[in-house]
A and B are shown apart, each in its own frame.
Chain A
Amino acid sequence: MSRILSTIKSATVILSAISLGAGCSAFRASVQNDDVAAASAKPMDTGYDFGDLRWLGDTVAADMIATSIIGDASRKPILVVMGIENRTDEHIDTKAITDTMRTKIINAGKADFVNESRRDNLIKEQGYQLANCTPETRTMIGKQLGARYMLTGSLVKLTKDTPRQVRVSKQEQVYLQLTVEVTDLETGLIAWTTQKERVRSARKPIIGW
């Protein structure tokens, strides 16, 4: 009988400890209001994340700003972004990469971009203005500037993981390669191109609780 009582006592102590522990911060969801520096945030796994987006966008933009067609041009060139092809096995928003690049280049004052993704809205607004706005304030039709260069590219990803063997963790390496091309729309020649590579390695357990 005394053994039963002592078991019940022990169980009560353990249950109380669990109940107390459940109130601890480690067991509760938390949100940090402090801004985490995007550049210093550590990746959680080998998947494409905002660190890759920032790094790829920033470094390609820096390279473009330093080129002769943009950085040394006597007149600011006009570019049109025609997209980066996603050739990976992840659903990656490659438009976010070109958005980052475009923001950097425009803010550096080195080139202008036509807003190709809003052409339909633009035409609609011009049509509206033509029909409804005063002649002094309405925008002129046929005054848009044409792009001299077209920006395109592709994103490739290669993955390598450890082969089947007796192990308690799995290592994975991911290689990302971004190729960006600037094509002269007049000549059809590739005026400039660059490649950026990024390799990330991660080890993850294959046994958990």
Chain B
Amino acid sequence: MPENQSSDGDSAAPPAGTSVPLMARVINQGFVFLLAALCCAGCSTAPLDNARSHFIAGRLQEADHDLAILPHNGNSVLYLMERGMIRHHLRDYTNSTADWLEAVRLEKALEVHSVSRAGTSMIVNDAVLSFRGYPYEFTYLHAFLAQNFLAQGKWEDAAVEARNIAHRLEKLDEFPDDAFCRYLTGLCFELNGDESNAAMQYRQVLRLEPGSDLDATTGRFRSPTAPTNSFVAAPAEGELVCLLGFYGTFGMIPDHADIVIEGKTVGSSRTLVRRLQLECASSQRMAARHATKKLSRIVLKEAIAEAAETHNQNLGELLRVILFSMETNDNRRWETLPAKLAVARVPCPANGMRFDIEFKGASGTVLKRMTLSGPFMRKNKMSVAIASDNP
């Protein structure tokens, strides 16, 4: 195509019967279509948003239904994470475990950086990349898998996941550590008779949450009035470990939960981690890398638009508008993770089959009360229960 004709572009009316401006229009439209398609590729999908809305409203079956069909794109891992969590809350531990194990498998495949997706992300945005998440999200994949196995009494499998958590927490690379995951790891080791490694994890919990009143040698919590460093002996009959997730589905995120057995409060939960803190710390850790990439992408987009402008003013302008309208942050997160995670470890009767959980605000107001009925998985006098305030 002669340069003088192409630079005229669409501004001049095309002479009748001449196909050159027609071709230019076709190319322009092709660009628009291509870029629109790229734009859509990075958009978050409606089923995921619907499922999250249903989940947080306590409509778990609807949420599960929303994610019945998994996409085969860069969001597969995120879908599996969210669906696994929905099924975990439905107590469908088998399918929840299958989803999360598949997410772990896919995440390992993501260790290979895709040049094609990375290249596309340099001219579109980071949302076209496969979801990689922050390290804490993948640590929680193992943490919730461990909880699924504990709920099923598969102690050895829970310990397998605990080892995976420990591996991940050993390679933090300045990302935030996590007291809840440490406690869960210690608990799984303790249940499998590995007392020394359990104590090592409990010491890390104490380091991260010094106010938790934890006796690091036993993994039990002291009463607030007991002297620090005092040894907490094993209860005579048995003990109950309750792993709690706080969502705040009734408008307020609980401060703590009390465990009530036969009408008597036997202990309170200790909050060990807040998701927002993990997210902020991880975001800060990645801020410099994200800023550098964003700056490079802006420079590249401007260079592409300028290059197009030298051939066709309108096309250049159009490209600039499209390219910069696609500039957005990658905000994909595992959103069905609880806002807070807590642990209660309390004495309980040997044949305890039923107890109440009172989710309370900071002032002590009961926000929600629920009854958990057994049988609870039990090993060496220790029963394990998993609960959250959702639904």
Contact = CB atoms under 8 A, between A and B. Distances in A.
Contact of B163 (A3, A85, A88, A207): A88
Contact of A91 (B115, B160, B167): B160
A129 to B, nearest CB: 32
Interface string A80-96: 00000111111100000
Contacts of B101: 91
B264 interface: no
Contact of A206 (B19, B112, B157, B173): B112
B159 interface: yes
A204 B167 contact: no
Nearest to B23: A4
A148 interface: no
Interface string B295-339: 000000000000000000000000000000000000000000000
Contacts of A85: 156, 192
Contact of A208 (B112, B163, B192): B112
B114 interface: yes
B218 interface: no
Given A1-B20, A4-B23, A164-B173, A89 B113 contact: no
Contacts of B164: 89
Interface string A84-120: 0111111100000000000000000000000000000
Contacts of A54: none
B11 interface: no
A137 to B, nearest CB: 39
B1 A208 contact: no
B170 to A, nearest CB: 11
A1 B253 CA distance: 67
A209 interface: yes
A207 B160 contact: no
A101 B75 CA distance: 43
Interface in A53-78: none
Interface in B112-155: 112-116
Contacts of B111: 170, 204, 206
Given A89-B160, A207-B113, A1 B19 contact: yes
A86 B167 CA distance: 16
A4 B112 contact: no
A167 to B, nearest CB: 12
Contact of B112 (A86, A87, A204): A204
Interface string A126-170: 000000000000000000000000000000000100001000001
A205 interface: yes
A49 to B, nearest CB: 14
A91 B163 contact: no
Contact of B114 (A86, A90, A209): A209
A88 B160 contact: yes
B23 A207 contact: no
Nearest to B163: A89
Interface of A: 1, 3-4, 85-91, 159, 164, 170, 204-209
